Structures are given as structure tokens and as C-alpha cells.
Structure 1
Amino acid sequence: MTVAILGPAGTFSHDLAARLYGDDIELLPTIRSIIERVASGAATGLVPIENSEAGGVGETLQGLAEFGVVITGEAYMPVRHHLAARGDPARLSVIYAHPQTHEQCSIILGRLGVEVVHTSSNAASAVAMQRDEHAGAVVPEMAATIYGLPVAVRDIQNSRENTTRFVEISAAPREGPGCTKCSLLVDPDADRVGLLADILGVFARRRVNLTRIESRPSRRGIGRYIFFIDIEVSDGWQEAKEELKTMTTVRELGCYTRMEVPGI
């Protein structure tokens, strides 16, 4: 089945998908459009869910909450950002960058003191630079190559350990053994004292490790939240999940394993 990813050509999503799936990919303009396509059963999807510098990807988390899709795999992509420019970067009139890319490269971009204009993707930054001879762009290697942009400064990310975690999503759960991680969406039925402690205690008593927990607005009013929880598959995790269901509404977002990425 075709894999839907975030376009245009040259994004980190495109680079990762090409390594994992070859040419059987479809470029879509937004993460939401990818999740909608997957929910319809027309494609599998690959979307970013969190970054080691910028945290969770809100559009992906909201899409997982809204649509009946499940996670069937995860992959980790080292992130290297480069500043493309035709001359001295300090003399640029503007630098185009995706908002999360800007955050991940804030130190060097702040030192340059050049106006940063946000775009919808790293590839869109490359396209915008093409239209302006006095502009620069923060882009991955693949985008610089595709769009023929000269790279002035390499590796401008704040951290050398910068990594983005992607998840493969589908309309149907992963089948077969070998899952190492499961994701849950927890929606508390009420706001009460000790609620979060009770949720965490369900796993702590059984020594089940949580690899990630993130709160997101429930969109039912200020102070009301839902929680995304990733857990390691181990003895007791099923019992913990069932107990959690007695105190909150729990939706299972899928069990899966890590996908090996060729060339990384």
C-alpha cells in the first residue's frame, strides 16, 4: 500500500520514507491530510510525533486523538539542519524556516540577527528561497540537493543529538508478535485531586516503564487535558491497562516495534 508523507519533496519525512519504503510514497501538504487519508483506508502514513529538542508535534497528536488510526511502527531520524545561502549569511534579508526547525536552530539563527519567516515545511523553505535571491533557508541535505541550493553553513542545529521520532500509522492494528512498545490515549472522566498520581501508580506498582507521557488540551475548556502515554511491553502491562480503564477512558493507539532505517 502507498505510504502518505509530508511534502513537498525534500522533507525529513521524505528522506526517511525513501529509506524505508522506496518509491511507493505519496506527498501530501499537511499532517492532517495524511491522517485523514490513512483513516479512510487509502494509504499507510508516516508522520513525525516528537523531536528531542522541540518536543511533541501538536498536529500529529491532535490527529491521533481525532481520527481512528493506530500506530504500527516507529523510526528515529537524526536531524541535521543546514543554512542555505548564496552569499554571506549575515547579509541576508530574510531566512525561511519551519517553526520547529527555527526552534531547533535558535542559537545560530539568533546570533545572525536576520529576520526568520516561518514556512509549512523544510521543503517549503527551500522553495521560498528559490524565489528570492537575497533570502536564505534552513533545510535538510535532501532539500538542498533537490532544489539546487548552495549550503553556506552545515549543522546549525542546537544539539548534535537532535533526533525526530516518526510513527507509521494505519487504519488497522499491527498483527503478529514482537511488539516492544504500546501507546495509549487517556481521557480522564473528571478533574480531581491525585488523578495523575493514580494514573502513574497503575504502572509503577507493576514496574511497567513509561517511555513518554504528554498532556494535550482536551478542547473541552481550560484546565481539561488528555494524556498520551507510551509504555514498554513487559510483564504486567496488560493488567495495568485494564486497571487504568476502571478510572479513565482509555483508547489503545497500537502496539508496535522499532523499524530499522537503512543508511542510519
Structure 2
Amino acid sequence: MKIITLGPEGTFSHELALKMAGKAENIVLLPTIHSIMSAVARGEGDGIVPMENSEAGGVGETLDGLSKFPLFITAEMYLPIRHNLASLVTLKEMRVIYAHPQTDEQCSDMIEKWGLPVIHTSSNASSAREARKTPNAGAILSETAAALYHMPIIVKNTENSEWNTTRFVRIAATPSRHKRPEKCSILIDPDEDRSGLLHDLLGAFASRGINLSRIESRPSKRGIGNYVFFLDFSWSLKTAGALAELKKITTVKELGCYRKIGVPP
């Protein structure tokens, strides 16, 4: 089975896919999360996409894709994220930094300290390529990307927190069949706007002692003030009952129940 993930070479997604797949020939690199999800929906393989970061929060393109495409989460993985400032010049000579928007957020403390303008790019690899061809430029990227694009590391570990971690999910066209999953994810699209609606929705879990580990809202794309909600919760034998209760009062899209997979060193 092919693993489809975010390219080009040198992204954290690519780094994780290499750890999980073992061989580069089993990996397909695509330029956007939307294109990954489209390929997975066509049955071209399983996907690995970033879901959320401990510093920057949820990845909007992934959440929107899960809302749009008929896909399921079949596993989750956690990857510690270490950023580095790399450049062909010294920090004193640097005049601009290239960084992915999420990288910018995750390294905002150091960037503020340096006082240098940041130009956003589509990936770590793009940051490296732009910095290499721009005079007096630097890039914030992984150690892997720095080596791949022959960029000397000037400052190591530029992330705001030593606990900086990204949660990735594996997506597929069919759900996981694991008999004892650990976590479930759903999308709630409220059919009405009334006082106490969110309380009623969450009450289906609270009354059954089911632990909600995450709730995040995203624009529904149907106008300002209209939202959908993504929920993660611990799987239990009472999960089916909670979902049945929810479906009586709102629209629910089940995104799958799954387990955490350890990442090889």
C-alpha cells in the first residue's frame, strides 16, 4: 500500500512517512493536503496528514478536507518537532527569513527576538530553496531538510517549546476495523442555532462518562457565524449510544475510531 503525504522531500510529513513506510519507493509526495485527500478518496493509497500542533493548534486544511471528502481516520501518530534556522550567511548578515506559516507560529518567540521579516512558504523544502537563491536570507526548517538542501544550521531548536509536537493522522477510504480502538473523531454540523444546543450535544458524552479530549470549531462556509465542530473522544462500549443520541438532534459525520501508532526512531 502506498503512503501519500505532503511533499516535497524534507517536510516533517515526508520524514514521518519514511519512518512509517520504511522505503522511499512506498511514498507518494503531493504538494497540498487537498490533493492528498483527493488521491486517497480515489483509492490510490493511504494518506498521512498533520492534524494539529501543540503550539499552533489545528491544521485548517486537514479539518476542511475531512469535512469535504468521504475519508476516515484509521490511526494517529505523534512526532516531536524541532526547528532550526539555516542559512548560507551569518545571523548578523541575514535580512529576511523564509518559513511555513505553522513554522512561523511555532518559532514566534525567536523570530521576534531576531527582529527579521518573515516570508511565508508552502513547505520547509520551499523555505530552503527560496533562502538558497535569495541574498542574505535564512530559512527555518528541520535538520533533515537542512541537510537535504545543503543549508548550514545557524541556530538549533528555534521552537517556542521543547514539548513542540505535531499530531498526524493516517487517512483511508475505508474505516479501521480494530475491535478495541482508543479514540474516535466526529464532525458535528448543527441543523439549528439555539440556546443550549452545544450543551445538549456535549451532554450525550458527559451522561455516559465518555471523555472528550478535543473540540474545535471551523467555519461551515455557509456565512459568518455558522460553524461545524470537530470532536475527539475516548472510545468506550457506550460510544454507539452517544452517537445515536446525537444523530437525533443534529447531523453527525463519523470520521472513524482508531489507535495510536508509535513512531520508529
Which residue does 2:112 correspond to in 1? 110
Asked whether the 8 Å contact 2:5–2:14 carries over to 1, the reply is yes
Amino acid at match of 2:63: L
Q: 1:94 Cα shift?
A: 1.0
Amino acid at match of 1:82: N
Q: Secondary structure at the match of 1:200?
A: helix
Amino acid at match of 2:181: C
Which residue does 1:255 correspond to in 2? 257
Which residue does 1:20 correspond to in 2? 20
Q: Does 1:148 align with 2:150?
A: yes
Q: 1:7 Cα shift?
A: 0.6
Q: Name the count of aligned residue pairs.
A: 263
Structure 2 CA distance for aligned equivalents of residues 121 and 141 of structure 1:
14
Q: Secondary structure at the match of 1:198?
A: helix
Which residue does 2:169 correspond to in 1? 167
Which residue does 2:181 correspond to in 1? 179
Pick one of 70, 74, 77 that aligns with 1:75.
Answer: 77
Within 5 A, what are the aligned runs for 1:225-244?
A: 225-244=227-246
Amino acid at match of 1:87: V
Q: CA 1:113–1:244 in 2, change beyond 3 Å: closer, same or farther?
A: same
Asked whether the 8 Å contact 1:90–1:113 carries over to 2, the reply is no
Amino acid at match of 2:168: F
Q: CA offsets per residue over residues 55-112 of structure 1, 9 Å max, x none? A: 0000000000001011011000001000002332132121000011001100111111
Q: 1:211 Cα shift?
A: 1.0
Q: CA offsets per residue over residues 244-263 of structure 1, 9 Å max, x none? A: 11111001001110011101
Q: Give the TM-score normalised by the residue count of structure 2.
A: 0.97
Which residue does 1:207 correspond to in 2? 209
Structure 1 residue runs without a partner (length 5+): none
Q: Give the TM-score normalised by the residue count of structure 1.
A: 0.98
Q: 1:20 Cα shift?
A: 0.6
Which residue does 2:96 correspond to in 1? 94
Q: Does 1:137 align with 2:139?
A: yes
Structure 2 CA distance for aligned equivalents of residues 109 and 86 of structure 1:
18
Q: 1:123 Cα shift?
A: 1.4
Which residue does 1:5 correspond to in 2? 5
Q: 1:214 Cα shift?
A: 0.4
Structure 1 CA distance for aligned equivalents of residues 156 and 236 of structure 2:
41
Q: 1:229 Cα shift?
A: 0.5
Q: 1:170 Cα shift?
A: 0.4
Amino acid at match of 1:169: I
Structure 2 residue runs without a partner (length 5+): none
Structure 1 CA distance for aligned equivalents of residues 44 and 88 of structure 2:
41
Within 5 A, what are the aligned runs for 1:36-47?
A: 36-47=38-49
Structure 1 CA distance for aligned equivalents of residues 248 and 241 of structure 2:
11
Structure 2 CA distance for aligned equivalents of residues 110 and 234 of structure 1:
45
Q: 1:165 Cα shift?
A: 0.3
Matched-pair identity in %: 54
RMSD: 0.9
